[in-house]
Chains A and B, each alone.
Chain A
Amino acid sequence: MNASELVERDVIERVLASALRRGGEFAEVFVEDRRTSSASLDQRRVEELSSGRDRGAGVRVVVGETTGFAHTADLSERGLIDAAHAAATVARSGSGRTVTVSLGDHVSYVNKAEKPLGTVDKARKIEVLLRADDIARSTGGEITQVMVGLGESSRRILVANSDGVFRSDHQVRTRFNVQCVALGDTGMQTGYRPVAATRGFEILTDDAVAQAATGAARQAITKLAARPAPSGDLPVVLAGGSGGILFHEACGHGLEADAILKEASVYSGKAGQKVASDLVTLVDDGTVEGEWGYLAMDDEGRAAGRNVLIENGVLTDYMWDFLSARRQGRASSGNGRRQSYQHLPMVRMTNTYLLEGPDTPEDIIAQTPRGVYVAQLGGGQVNTATGDFVFGMTEAYLIEGGVITTPLRECNLIGNGPEVLQRVDAVASDFSMTPGTCGKDGQQVPVGTGQATMRLSSVTIGGTAA
């Protein structure tokens, strides 16, 4: 079934017209039909296979600077009109004017997943989970526990608004992860590896599954020998991939136009200014097909874009959704996203990555006499108004005399975005991406982050060792 078949064109036109009767300037209907399936393996037991379906619509009405929003699981014309009326309570001026809305041609994006949800045997999925467990356990006798998770989703969305936009998309995502616990003399340590893409089950090739399982197990075992991380300022080398979380936190959130327009970001008013070292060219790119943050169109019906945020250290542009762009009289950059039909869209990142630089990972490490090498980052948080952010290292090592040595226990690193961006002093060319989940105002969306191996001349390590 196409998303456009969820609700008929003429019904949507009447719902939009009804939403504008009280004086709204803009109205939008967002329809979503999402199926999900998840499976988890814990201690070689398939604990649970779960299937879910969520279907409904969100209606928003904009009057001046005010947005009214209501959502419903009732996709009948009556249900949608009720939601439209509820959303329109913010518009108090107009009373019962007659409005007609006619939608433009329907644009439908095609999904290219080879094995979307519903096409792979459940028994086959269980095989893959068990195989990951076998591989992880065979990596070392220290592995006492293995948990494997699989989540698949198939999300059909339709966006129609009073400007005539009428578009639909079908997004298929697959996420697989392996978590291991290793037991040693010093207690338990954990290892984690995700595999995730905006594709179907085909991403779980034998190689991908084996790499995730071995990687998670090795990480847990390695950390058994970990020493407390240092406390204080040191140079930090971030391995390619998950290090992109640094940019997601250090400046990504601060470059979202909602924070900019409220002057609640340290990057407000900095467009055109030098905000980072020359080595920093940062891009937010929803068009990278198959990546975890890939979108054909955003949740406001705008085609995803490749947007250069910082070029050679100079802030070039922010990320925009429909409302923030409208306020500035410009076009959205395709960054309007929402967790589900029950949420309002807001400015969100897609795939945010640093372009490659001239160095090699080997040289960067060799030219670091003493520091920390972070092989995997685990997430972070930022205060956009002050620019202070943290990010956690889930696998890290000391660098001594230009050589990677002792593994370190987990801890957070802390820094200030504008300061840390200036301290990027080496970037290599071994680019890779990592999938993640980004939370903002209670909404979770899939995002990608990426970079090549790079170095920060100094960051505060939040460990316990002197």
Chain B
Amino acid sequence: MSELLTIAESVVERAVGDEQLEVYVSRGIDTEVQAYQGEVEKLTTATSAGIGIRVLVDSPQGARVGTAWAGSLDAEAIDEALREARDNVSFATEDEFIGFATPDGVAAASLTLVDEGVTTTSLDDKIALAIDLEKMVRTADARIRQVDSANYSDYVAQAAIASTLGIRATYERSGAYVSVEAIATDSSGDQTGWGLSAGRAPHELDLDKAAADAVRRATRMLGAIKPASMRGVAVFDPRTTATLLAIIGGALSGSAVVRGRSFFADRIGENVAVEDFSLLDDPTDPRHFGASIFDGEGLACRRNVLIDHGRLQGFVYDTESARRAGTSSTGSAARGGIAGSPSASCRALQLAPGAFTQADILAHVGHGVFVESLTGVHSGVNPISGDFSVGITGLMIRDGQLAEPIREVTVASTLQRMLLDVTHVGNDVEWLPGVAAGQTLAVGDIALSGS
């Protein structure tokens, strides 16, 4: 890790004149195993590294930035990236709000996000996890006809950021995952179910849970029908709720808000959701898979309250969007790898747990739909207008119980309305990989389009 910081610093030291440099260096080690019919189908092992450089030059009307990146840490690649980034500067528009992060004195949380188990577990043991998982699913239920893929993957990712403004940050995290997709069949045809388990190292993985989830989801969808259209309550399971929260998190990004591209813009202080809805972005919570010590500009990550008992409290900002909004960074810069410039993004969303178990919620709702999977999120949700329409699979809720499975159906509303139509928030928080944790969530007055 210190080696990465040394590389970043050595580039920063090459700043000439009044130019400012910000250098991001990353390295990753990845393993991926896919098992099929008791054998390894694919095994990938790889290390990768890269560098992203931003050059900033002050000008009379503000500053200009140019960027470049390279997928290697060779001296030649770094030289070329620095040269290109400098060349790109002169073509950018002068902008008074553009600037790099300056150290803000916020102390970094003390988090351990690496588990040595990822590197000390042998490749054979990792392969065995994927093969065992496949076998568990295949033998769990006679109706499981096929296991499309059973996967194990892990990574160790390291990064360092340094800048001429005094930023010095390094961080490291590890992750291990198993996932499996089962195909169940009966006289009515095929249905699929997907299960996963995630941790920071192999020993944290729960293969039983992943296998049981895939089998349960696939088999209970057998015989699914297309229901009649209706309007009513949709109860989202923890996984699908996490997807909803991630979409809402996108609209809470300062980068979207300052550009007027969020339905939350200009609504601070308003009641945008029901009283029971409190949304937090807290990368300092080590239980969250999105936990991080530093953000993409090298500032300490911190806890940010976004929606407090329904009231819109704030947004997440990186340096540039904060300056544009007249505030300061919330330590929420994210970069999409070496090629991406920082922008403001939630990374560890969690919805304050409500008072209800999933069974309570189903009982209270009485009649509605239980949503287990979403499709077409990228094609049917517009975070600017708030339009929301997605394909789902799940089960009908009748008399407070899960009833017949349903498919080929959509649920639709607008994101704005859904937040105000939440009827119950579950207490069954599941820590899932990705930007958001999830729990059961009931939303009223949803349009269900079926036959």
Q: Which residues of A contact B (CB under 8 A)?
A: 36, 39, 42-56, 64-74, 86-87, 89-90, 122-123, 125-126, 144-145, 181, 187-190, 223, 229, 231-233, 262-264, 266, 342, 344, 377-383, 385-386, 388-392, 409-412, 414-416, 460-465
Q: Which residues of A contact B36 (CB under 8 A)?
A: 65, 262
- Closest A residue to B190 by beta carbon equals A385
Taking a contact as CB atoms closer than 8 A, the residue among A68, A187, A390 that contacts B379 in the complex is A390
Q: Which residues of A contact B449 (CB under 8 A)?
A: 231-232, 414, 460-463
Taking a contact as CB atoms closer than 8 A, the residue among A64, A71, A123, A462 that contacts B48 in the complex is A71
A381 touching B375, Cβ below 8 Å: yes
CB distance from A117 to the nearest CB of B (A): 12
B148 touching A51, Cβ below 8 Å: no
Complex Cα spacing A247 to B102, Å? 51
B380 touching A44, Cβ below 8 Å: no
Q: Is B250 an interface residue (CB 8 A)?
A: no
Q: 11 new A-B pairs (CB below 8 Å) besides A51-B84, A54-B50, A381-B391?
A: A45-B95, A72-B46, A73-B50, A73-B71, A233-B451, A342-B46, A386-B407, A391-B379, A412-B391, A414-B409, A462-B380
Of the listed stretches B37-45, B308-316, B357-365, name the one at the interface; the rest are far from the partner chain.
Answer: B37-45
Q: Which residues of B contact A (CB under 8 A)?
A: 36-37, 39-50, 65-72, 74, 77, 80-81, 84-85, 87-88, 91-93, 95, 123, 145-146, 148, 183, 189-192, 226, 229, 259-261, 263, 338-339, 341, 375-376, 378-380, 382, 384-387, 389-391, 393, 407-413, 447-451
- Assuming A55-B71, A66-B40, A70-B46, is B259 touching A383 (CB within 8 A)? no
- Closest A residue to B410 by beta carbon equals A462
Q: Which residues of B contact A89 (CB under 8 A)?
A: 43, 45, 123
A73 touching B48, Cβ below 8 Å: yes
CB distance from A368 to the nearest CB of B (A): 19
Taking a contact as CB atoms closer than 8 A, the residue among B146, B260, B382, B387 that contacts A262 in the complex is B146
Q: Which residues of A contact B49 (CB under 8 A)?
A: 73
A71 touching B46, Cβ below 8 Å: yes
A sample of 20 cross-chain residue pairs with beta-carbon separation below 8 angstroms, ordered by A number, consists of: A39-B91, A44-B93, A48-B92, A50-B67, A52-B81, A52-B338, A56-B71, A66-B39, A69-B43, A71-B44, A145-B259, A181-B260, A190-B382, A229-B389, A231-B412, A232-B450, A344-B42, A386-B191, A462-B389, A462-B412
Complex Cα spacing A464 to B234, Å? 14
- Assuming A49-B92, A50-B68, is B45 touching A86 (CB within 8 A)? yes
- Closest B residue to A50 by beta carbon equals B67
- Assuming A69-B42, A231-B412, is B91 touching A123 (CB within 8 A)? yes
Complex Cα spacing A344 to B412, Å? 37
B389 touching A410, Cβ below 8 Å: yes
- Assuming A71-B48, A231-B412, is B380 touching A412 (CB within 8 A)? yes
Complex Cα spacing A263 to B69, Å? 42
Q: Which residues of B contact A126 (CB under 8 A)?
A: 91
A49 touching B88, Cβ below 8 Å: yes
B43 touching A344, Cβ below 8 Å: no
Complex Cα spacing A415 to B385, Å? 25
Q: Which residues of A contact B259 (CB under 8 A)?
A: 42-43, 145
Q: Which residues of B contact A377 (CB under 8 A)?
A: 379
A409 touching B387, Cβ below 8 Å: yes
Q: Which residues of B contact A460 (CB under 8 A)?
A: 226, 408-410, 449-451
Complex Cα spacing A44 to B259, Å? 12
B80 touching A53, Cβ below 8 Å: yes
Q: Which residues of A contact B407 (CB under 8 A)?
A: 386, 388
Taking a contact as CB atoms closer than 8 A, the residue among B192, B375, B378, B409 that contacts A385 in the complex is B192
Interface of A is mostly: strand
- Closest A residue to B341 by beta carbon equals A48
Complex Cα spacing A381 to B382, Å? 16
- Closest A residue to B92 by beta carbon equals A46
A65 touching B39, Cβ below 8 Å: yes
Q: Which residues of B contact A233 (CB under 8 A)?
A: 451
Complex Cα spacing A339 to B183, Å? 27
Task: List 6 A-B pairs, minimum CB-CB distance, nearest first.
Answer: A392-B379, A462-B410, A390-B376, A411-B389, A412-B380, A54-B71
Q: Which residues of B contact A342 (CB under 8 A)?
A: 46, 48
Complex Cα spacing A462 to B239, Å? 21
CB distance from A440 to the nearest CB of B (A): 12
Q: Which residues of A contact B375 (CB under 8 A)?
A: 381-383, 388-390
Q: Which residues of B contact A87 (CB under 8 A)?
A: 45
Q: Which residues of A contact B74 (CB under 8 A)?
A: 73
B88 touching A383, Cβ below 8 Å: no
B48 touching A145, Cβ below 8 Å: no
Complex Cα spacing A385 to B92, Å? 48
Complex Cα spacing A389 to B409, Å? 10
- Assuming A49-B88, A264-B183, A416-B408, is B45 touching A379 (CB within 8 A)? no
CB distance from A10 to the nearest CB of B (A): 23
Complex Cα spacing A46 to B91, Å? 7
A67 touching B48, Cβ below 8 Å: no
A46 touching B93, Cβ below 8 Å: yes
- Closest B residue to A411 by beta carbon equals B389
Q: Which residues of A contact B88 (CB under 8 A)?
A: 48-51, 122
Q: Which residues of A contact B376 (CB under 8 A)?
A: 379-381, 390-392, 412, 414
- Assuming A414-B408, A464-B413, is B192 touching A52 (CB within 8 A)? no
CB distance from B154 to the nearest CB of A (A): 15
A52 touching B408, Cβ below 8 Å: no
Most buried by B among A54, A74, A391: A54
Q: Which residues of A contact B387 (CB under 8 A)?
A: 409-411
- Assuming A48-B92, A49-B66, A460-B449, is B384 touching A188 (CB within 8 A)? yes
Q: Which residues of B contact A264 (CB under 8 A)?
A: 146, 148, 183
B391 touching A187, Cβ below 8 Å: no
Complex Cα spacing A72 to B410, Å? 44
Most buried by B among A66, A122, A414: A414
CB distance from B175 to the nearest CB of A (A): 15
Q: Which residues of A contact B385 (CB under 8 A)?
A: 187-190, 223, 409-410
- Assuming A48-B92, A55-B71, is B42 touching A64 (CB within 8 A)? no
Q: Which residues of B contact A223 (CB under 8 A)?
A: 385
Complex Cα spacing A342 to B339, Å? 15
Q: Which residues of B contact A50 (CB under 8 A)?
A: 66-69, 88, 339, 341
